[in-house]
Structure 1
Amino acid sequence: MKNIVMGVDIGGSHITALLIDIDKKEEIQGSWSRENLDSNASADRIIDAWAATIEKSIRSYQLFPARINIAMPGPMDYQKGICKIKGQGKYEALYGLNIKNMLAIRLGLSSSDINFVNDAASFLKGELFKGSLNNVSQAIGLTLGTGLGTAHTENGCVKDTDLWKMPFLKGVAEDYISTRWFIKRFHEMTGIKVMDVKDLVDNHKGSPYFNAVFLEFSVNLAKFLYKFIRIKMPLAVVIGGNIANAEEFFLENTRRFLASKMGYSFPVEKSLLGEKATLLGAGASI
């Protein structure tokens, strides 16, 4: 069935797989499979974990998808399937490897059955496909998580903007807009080590340092968005990723700081679909 495809979302700490009916723009109920993973494990263990999650989703429907499209953060040679992630605290063991071929062998498939696509572009495509930006023609999208993903629309297509490495403050944008910034900054303020933003929210919400770190993040995000908007001139922004789940602590302040720089209120929306946006966007990719 050519209309049934698999969308896969690979992040710094998880993998999610979902079968999708592209004609209906709907997920296949019961095919959702999500697992946490150690992105600092060996290459073989990472590939095995990916394959196990994909196989679990396939077994749920008893029908093999026409293709498997995998949304993955960069840098990467997406066409060849060669991982180029290095120095980002994740997937170091995969650097320089053809993970497309490795995964195909592990699944018993031809490498032509598997496509790797950019995760931020997939996220924005999903939101345009069936999400909060359904009627917007010019937009930019951010995935806020272990790293920073950026994408934009151009001539009706969605493309990776690759602004994670844009010079920003005393480093690059991802140094200030990512989970690792929260971990580093909260430790600098308090001497306390948190695992991620969820840990920060669950165990430190309401403390003075909690409020301070989110306020600083709001300012940094607004400054970055201002630069991004000036480059691509979109009509709206959509934000997703794990950090977006903590929107109540930063999004209104981000909008306010951005409006003060723009001189008017600019639409900054949180994803309606969440992780499903990336899965739908990946599945819809050719």
Structure 2
Amino acid sequence: MNNKIVVGCDIGGSHISTALVDLENRILVEDTFERQTVNSHDEIAAIIDSWSDCIQSSMKKGNLETTAIGIAIPGPFDYEKGVSLMKNQNKYEALYEINVKVLLAKKIGINTEDITFLNDAACFLQGEMFAGAGVLFKRAVGLTLGTGLGSALFLNGHAEDGDLWCVKFRESIAEDYLSGHWLKSTYIKRTGKHIESVKALCAIAEADADASAILREFGYTLAEFVSEHLLDKEPEGLILGGNIAKGYEHFLSHTQDRLKERGISLPIKIAQLGEMAAIYGAAGALKTGL
């Protein structure tokens, strides 16, 4: 088996993306990326077939018959055993309590030991630490600022789900203040105007005082959250991903200013790998033995 070239795989609720990753050089193997839609409401065999087809397509493009496979997949999931625990999640209901590692290994024609399942939130940070914004850090926290709030911790050579979305914050929980939902609902509440997305909010920020003020407030809120919930992890840096992070120029300077006022020096980096982060992370975890 070629231990230097492995498959990185990202499984979501409606898609699967795969590519071969060169672990030694920390790059994707050229022309091996595959992305296919998956009907997560399908039967067991159809889902496994979809996953297998995409993985084997990448392997075929790289002329590999067998190799290790790292798979980023959302929970709840028994990652060590390869058993899905997703129930009432509106996806992959048919796989509940099924050992998908065994089924997938049999379909591809490899040993179960060659497949490793990993938490998708952790893989985002693992990927950025392996080949992206966090390569110079040994300890870091990753926040995915999107529809909701995702988090991961890289503290002991590997990433794990931070599960910070539900920590107590202000009058509720963190996700209620650090999410696309908060940005959009706050704009609508203050102006009476509908806003389609965070991207649209950022697009009007320079001309719309309300949009600008809300994004500035978001930046201050992020600083407050960092102060209260991240510093005890003793990170060397913070990595921001997700759709909100793409508009960092509208709020990040306010976060940094507020942290500076509090005497906090914490480098903040914007994620570099985009949707490739989970693929890099799933593959990179094989190198670190996660």
Q: Say if 2:139 and 2:154, in contact at 8 Å, map to a contact too.
A: yes
Q: Which residue of 2 aligns with 1:227?
A: 228
Residue 38 of structure 1: how far off its partner (Å): 7.3
Superposition map of 1:85-234 within 5 A: 91=91, 93=93, 96-98=96-98, 99-101=100-102, 103-104=104-105, 111-189=112-190, 190=192, 192=194, 194=196, 196-198=197-199, 200-201=201-202, 206-234=207-235
Residue identity (%): 37
- What CA distance in whole angstroms lies between the structure 2 residues aligned with 1:205 and 1:100? 50
AA of the residue aligned to 1:24: N
- What CA distance in whole angstroms lies between the structure 2 residues aligned with 1:19 and 1:201? 35
Q: What TM-score do the two structures reach when normalised by structure 1? A: 0.78
Q: Say if 2:205 and 2:250, in contact at 8 Å, map to a contact too.
A: no
Q: Which residue of 2 aligns with 1:67?
A: 68
- What CA distance in whole angstroms lies between the structure 2 residues aligned with 1:175 and 1:92? 27
AA of the residue aligned to 1:226: S
1:206/1:268 Cα in 2 relative to 1: closer, same or farther (>3 Å)? same
SS in 2 for 1:285: helix
Q: Say if 1:101 and 1:111, in contact at 8 Å, map to a contact too.
A: yes
SS in 1 for 2:165: helix
CA deviation vs aligned residue, 1:245-274 (integer Å, no higher than 9, x gap): 2222222222223333x3244211112333
Q: Which residue of 2 aligns with 1:274?
A: 274
Unaligned runs of 5+ in 2: none
- What CA distance in whole angstroms lies between the structure 2 residues aligned with 1:15 and 1:200? 30
Residue 191 of structure 1: how far off its partner (Å): 5.6
AA of the residue aligned to 1:6: V
AA of the residue aligned to 2:129: L
- What CA distance in whole angstroms lies between the structure 2 residues aligned with 1:240 and 1:130? 14
1:150/1:20 Cα in 2 relative to 1: closer, same or farther (>3 Å)? same
SS in 1 for 2:17: strand
Instruction: Provide the aligned C-alpha RMSD in A.
Output: 3.5
AA of the residue aligned to 2:11: I
Unaligned runs of 5+ in 1: none
Moved more, 207-216 or 232-241: 207-216
- What CA distance in whole angstroms lies between the structure 1 residues aligned with 2:130 and 2:12? 21
AA of the residue aligned to 2:253: E
Residue 157 of structure 1: how far off its partner (Å): 3.8
1:263/1:204 Cα in 2 relative to 1: closer, same or farther (>3 Å)? closer
AA of the residue aligned to 1:150: S
Name which one, 1 or 2, has greater alpha-carbon Rg.
2
Q: Say if 2:86 and 2:93, in contact at 8 Å, map to a contact too.
A: no
CA deviation vs aligned residue, 1:83-138 (integer Å, no higher than 9, x gap): 44567x76373684435456556656554433211233323333332333323222
AA of the residue aligned to 2:257: R
User: How many residues matched?
Assistant: 282
Moved more, 145-154 or 132-141: 145-154
- What CA distance in whole angstroms lies between the structure 1 residues aligned with 2:204 and 2:47? 30
SS in 1 for 2:159: strand
1:151/1:43 Cα in 2 relative to 1: closer, same or farther (>3 Å)? farther
AA of the residue aligned to 2:23: I
Residue 37 of structure 1: how far off its partner (Å): 6.4
AA of the residue aligned to 1:228: H
